[in-house]
């Protein structure tokens, strides 16, 4: 004859299940927190890489203005066009000057002009000529320069922006990437020849 087995009631099992539930909940919370942290770190890494690339592009696209000459009229009382000698900054990469935008003006008026492969028109365009190009990057169709290049930007000026003596002028060269090269100055008190150095 089989003897009946009596089970003793205890609260220890219930406590163990509660502990297990709490443990599982803690693991889930930790997993969710880890997933959030990993996601945030990935986003920050992507932003850092993007910022780094943009910073490199900004530095690599900088232009340096070496000098500016003004060409005066026959009466030696107005500058009617300027020649701006530029190069790429030290450590810069290749810069495509066909994407260059220029702003030029005096106290009263300003023009925004762009590159043209041909004869420039006052108030709308400028062209670029080669001075030094040891790496053979530059052509008028593809005016690309690097740190070893030296080129001249030829800018005819609108009659509303003629530059007489003692006149403030503003010239801004905005490359495709990089910080603008900005020159603010005052024309000389007198023009002694038809070609006048106005910067530096």
What digits encode the pLDDT tens for the residues 162-200? 899 999 999 999 999 888 999 999 999 999 999 999 999
Q: Is residue 2 part of a domain?
A: no
Same domain, 129 and 150: yes
Q: Which of 25-34, 107-116, 188-197 has the lowest mean pLDDT?
A: 25-34
Same domain, 107 and 54: no
Whether the pLDDT of residue 67 is over 90: the answer is: yes
pTM of the model: 0.71
Same domain, 187 and 91: yes
Same domain, 56 and 68: no
The pLDDT > 90 percentage for the chain reads 62
Cβ-Cβ contacts under 8 Å for 123 (sequence gap 6 or more): 111, 113, 156, 157, 158, 161
**DSSP state at residue 200:** -
pLDDT band for position 35 (cuts 50, 70, 90): confident
């Amino acid at each position: 004859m089989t003897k009946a087995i009596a089970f003793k009631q205890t609260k220890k099992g219930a406590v163990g299940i509660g502990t297990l539930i709490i443990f599982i909940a803690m693991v889930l919370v930790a997993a969710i927190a880890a997933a959030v942290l990993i996601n945030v770190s990935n986003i920050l890494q992507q932003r850092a890489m993007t910022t780094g690339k943009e910073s490199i592009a900004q530095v690599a696209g900088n232009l340096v203005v070496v000098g500016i000459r003004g060409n005066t009229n026959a009466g030696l009382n107005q500058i009617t066009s300027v020649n701006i000698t530029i190069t790429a900054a030290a450590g810069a990469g290749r810069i495509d000057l066909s994407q260059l935008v220029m702003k030029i003006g005096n106290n009263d008026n300003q023009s925004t002009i762009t590159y043209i492969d041909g004869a420039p028109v006052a108030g709308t365009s400028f062209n670029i000529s080669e001075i030094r190009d040891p790496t053979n990057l530059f052509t008028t169709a593809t005016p690309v320069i690097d740190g070893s290049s030296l080129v001249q930007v030829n800018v005819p000026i609108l009659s509303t922006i003629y530059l007489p003596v003692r006149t403030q002028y503003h010239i801004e060269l905005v490359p495709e990437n990089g910080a603008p090269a900005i020159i603010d100055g005052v024309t000389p008190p007198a023009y002694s020849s038809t070609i006048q150095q106005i910067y530096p």
